[in-house]
Amino acid sequence: MTHELIRVEDVGKTYGSVLALREVSTVVNAGEVTCVLGDNGAGKSTLIKILAGVHQHSSGRMLVDGAATTFGSPREALDAGIATVYQDLAVVPLMSVWRNFFLGSEPTVGFGPLRVLDRKKGKAVAKRALAEMGIDLRDVEQPVGTLSGGERQCVAIARAIHFGAKALILDEPTAALGVKQAGVVLRYVAQARDRGLGVVLITHNPHHAYPVGDRFLVLKRGRSLGSAEKAEITLAELTRQMAGGAELEQLAHELGGVDSESGAG
């Protein structure tokens, strides 16, 4: 019933003698959110760079629409319908919303050297596409810099959807945001999912991942701690895995010890 967009099987990546990622497997289905969780250096970035075509995997298989694939460049991934929204590289702040929306794929009218931007169409399409995502902007001529952090991410998400992405990779979209803004972004992630896109959400915050996620892949030091369906895992268990489980308990024990000592002193 669900359409499988991307499947990775035992994918690994080495940079010289450094094993950045090994034997990671998961799937991205249309209309579902696959969350990739992990602490800094866990291999999250390496995994999404393989999916986005920035790097190529050195072992295992990546299946896109059922066919084994290796992307040579980000452009190839984009052409295959896999769009990536990077946290800090989403938009150009000084440019207007509609110019950002169409950046790199501007609509034009006229022929040859006399082609000019179709500004009317650009503004109308950008406004409509954003409205469909539930982002109601007063004026698409305003610079993106005047938008909130959450809204900026959403402009980038709406852009990816508009230009025909089937799978959407979001790199830490909530990392730099406050609680409220993070909520706004998560709502748009759910929007994208409900419109039939397969979403890969990278985050280190299980509280952001759990409400929208259908599947959770936890990475640690380049290895997979397993890919679990939502039905198979609780938020508490996810948080425990993320934080390193036993290590955290040990830490809590030590801190508890410090606390009581200082209390006594």
Partner 1 sequence: MTTDIQTEPERDERIGRPRVLERLVVRPEIGALIGAIVVFLFFSIVTDQFLTTGGVAVWLDDAATLGIMAVAVSLLMIGGEFDLSAGVMTASTALVTAIFAANVGLNLWVALLLSLLFALAVGLFNGVLVMRTGLPSFIITLGMFLALQGLNLGVTKAVTGTVQVSGVASAPGYESVGFFFASTFELFGTQFRVSILWWIAFTAVAALILVRTKPGNWIFAVGGAAQSARAVGVPLVGTKIALFMTTAFAGWLVGNINVLRFTTVQANQGIGLELQFIIGAVIGGCLLTGGFGSAVGAAVGALIFGMARQGIVFAGWDSDWFMLFLGVMLLAAVLVNNALRRRAERVRR
Contact positions vs partner 1 (CB under 8 A): 74-75, 78, 84, 86, 89-95, 99, 102-106, 108, 115-117, 119, 123, 138-139, 141, 143, 145-149, 159, 178, 181
Distance separating alpha carbons of residues 181 and 173, to the nearest angstrom: 10
Q: Which two tokens stand for residue 45?
A: 């970035």
Q: How far is the CB of 66 from partner 1 (least distance, A)?
A: 27
Q: How far is the CB of 168 from partner 1 (least distance, A)?
A: 14
* Cβ proximity of 182 and 151 under 8 Å: no
Whether the CA torsion 135, 30, 172, 248 is positive or negative: it is positive
In the bound state with partner 1, the residue whose beta carbon lies nearer, of 19 and 86, is: 86
Q: How far is the CB of 100 from partner 1 (least distance, A)?
A: 8
Q: How far is the CB of 209 from partner 1 (least distance, A)?
A: 23
Q: How far is the CB of 44 from partner 1 (least distance, A)?
A: 18
In the bound state with partner 1, the residue whose beta carbon lies nearer, of 32 and 151, is: 151
Three-class DSSP labels, 172-209? CCCCCCCHHHHHHHHHHHHHHHHCCCEEEEEECCHHHH
Burial class (CB in 10 A: 0-12, 13-18, 19+), 174: buried
In the bound state with partner 1, the residue whose beta carbon lies nearer, of 19 and 137, is: 137
- Alpha carbon of 162 to those of 111, 208, 232: distances in Å? 24, 25, 34
In the bound state with partner 1, the residue whose beta carbon lies nearer, of 132 and 139, is: 139
In the bound state with partner 1, the residue whose beta carbon lies nearer, of 192 and 219, is: 192
Distance separating alpha carbons of residues 255 and 239, to the nearest angstrom: 19
